[in-house]
Amino acid sequence: MSELVPGGHLPLPGGSVTVRVPGPFDVSALITDDSGKVRGDGDFVFYNQPSASGARLHDDTLTVDPPRLRPGATRVTVVVSPADPGTPLGRLPAPTLHVSGSGGRAIARFVPPRPRQETVLLLAEIYRRGDGWKLRALGQGYADGLAGLARDFGVDVIEDATPSPAPEPMPTARPASAARSTLHTPSAVRTPSAPSPDADPDGFLGLVNSARSEAGSPAVALDARLASAARSHASAMATAGRLGVEGPDGVSVYQRITAAGHTYVTVGEHLVSGPRAPAEFVAYCLRTEQARRTLHDPAFTHAALAYVRGGRSGDTYWTALWARPLTPGGLSRTAAEVVDLTNRERARAGLRPLAVDPALTTAAQAYSADMAARAFYSHTSPEGSQPWDRAAAGSRMRTIGENIACGQRSPAEVVEGWMNSPGHRANILKRDFTHIGIGFAGGGPAGTYWTQLFGA
């Protein structure tokens, strides 16, 4: 079974596919063609209209049989919203998508970043690629509910002048002959509330952003999910009476971050014992080069601090976490930067650049996500698959090579590490290779997992 991250995708077996989202949620689906727009009422599957050609909803489970979808359908988007329309998703447990094939065999699981004020979440999509079908994890939220969702799927929205206490209806659409359709929904205030003065009671954010400003770095914001992970890790270190990336329970600080619902494209941490107050902690971090570099790093956009007193040694154990959240755009930019740096190295050696191959990219991304989710690091998967096995699906390459790495915090760092290793360098500079795919995932014991797949 694959553990997916936002943007992760994998091929689906033939036959029907079942997706289930247990918990206090309403599951629905939108069926679209290549335009990404609905055609009519029959393209909505929800509690009041639980079936359409090739799709059937029963309680929290949606069954999709791709070959039986209406003619022209190329995509089914799985949507979740609170069963109680007045409850933001952020007040509920994180929705978890379970995907099974025919016979009930588990295929994949996806836990998106924990929503906040969003009231609707695009959880995943089943889409056609060539003669087959694939699943892509999304995790895209809408704070303005079904109205915002409807706009993106080609529905004109008319908002009433005054709010109504009634729950939002599912969008309705005209038959295919009509270009667009209309949704009536109550208007609502969408502006996020200002941060509470008590959100940073120790003044950590002010101290940090002052130091970052002096270094020319942008300010960071506090993140509740990072704070939860920081508290958990500081407590684990205090219990053990020692500092460490991995706690006595065998869980790394990075696994605590992803378990809290925060997925990241880059991450950093300070694990310290001794300081008695946040000002002392920040001063300590600014005194040493590596810690100062992390605190000043302009790549980070969010941070959190936690400390626990009274461990076995009587010391205070501190955990500060720094991250930039993972987004589909951020993942694409990270992969593109790895490709660019790789091609620069090839250009220096007088070699032609590698072209990005979608099939290699899919395989590389799935493997990085798998290593992070199942906490292993090897060219051989726990099931025994090799790089050429993973690249075979959808790829016409005759020769395959693979580089993997873990723990590096940036594309520059990972490419430099590969170039400093003779075996990895040989793959990057292999004259016969013509194509490349890049994968990245955060989490696991090492924090980051990188995959380069080469093909010719």
104: Cβ–Cβ under 8 A, 6 or more apart, which residues?
Answer: 18
Mean pLDDT, residues 33-62 taken together: 81
pLDDT > 70? residue 20: yes
pLDDT > 80? residue 1: no
Mean pLDDT, residues 66-79 taken together: 90
CB 434 within 8 A of CB 354: yes
Per-residue pLDDT band at 4 (split at 50, 70, 90): confident
pLDDT > 80? residue 405: yes
354: Cβ–Cβ under 8 A, 6 or more apart, which residues?
Answer: 339, 342, 343, 346, 433, 434, 435, 436, 454
Q: What share of the chain is helix, strand, coil (3-state, %, to 5)?
A: 30, 30, 40
Q: What pLDDT sits at residue 160?
A: 34
The rounded distance, in Å, linking the Cα atoms of 135 and 98 is 12
Mean pLDDT, residues 242-248 taken together: 86
420-436 as b/e, with b when 16 or more CB fall inside 10 Å? eeeebeebbbbeebbbb
Give pLDDT tens digits for 265-322: 999 999 998 888 999 999 989 988 889 999 999 999 999 999 997 655 678 899 999 9
300: Cβ–Cβ under 8 A, 6 or more apart, which residues?
Answer: 220, 266, 268, 322, 323, 324
Region at 435 (left for phi over 0; alpha for psi -120 to 50; beta for the rest): beta
Give pLDDT tens digits for 136-149: 888 777 655 555 56
Per-residue pLDDT band at 151 (split at 50, 70, 90): low
Tokens of 169: 């209806």
60 in helix, strand or coil? coil
The rounded distance, in Å, linking the Cα atoms of 359 and 363 is 6
Query: Which of 288-292, 343-347, 423-427 has the highest average model confidence (pLDDT)?
Result: 343-347
Per-residue pLDDT band at 153 (split at 50, 70, 90): low
| Cα Rg of the chain (Å, integer) | 24
For residues 313 and 263, the model is more confident at 263
Alpha-carbon distance values, 331 to 139, 182, 196, 324, 361 (Å) = 14, 34, 31, 11, 12
Q: What pLDDT sits at residue 365?
A: 92
Q: By C-alpha distance, which of 191, 27, 230 is closest to 121?
A: 27
Mean pLDDT, residues 328-338 taken together: 92
The fraction of the chain above a pLDDT of 70, given in percent, is 83
The length of the chain is 456
- pTM of full prediction above 0.75: no
Which helix (H) or strand (E) segment is 258 a member of?
Answer: helix 253-259
Give pLDDT tens digits for 168-215: 333 333 333 222 333 333 333 222 333 343 456 678 999 999 999 999
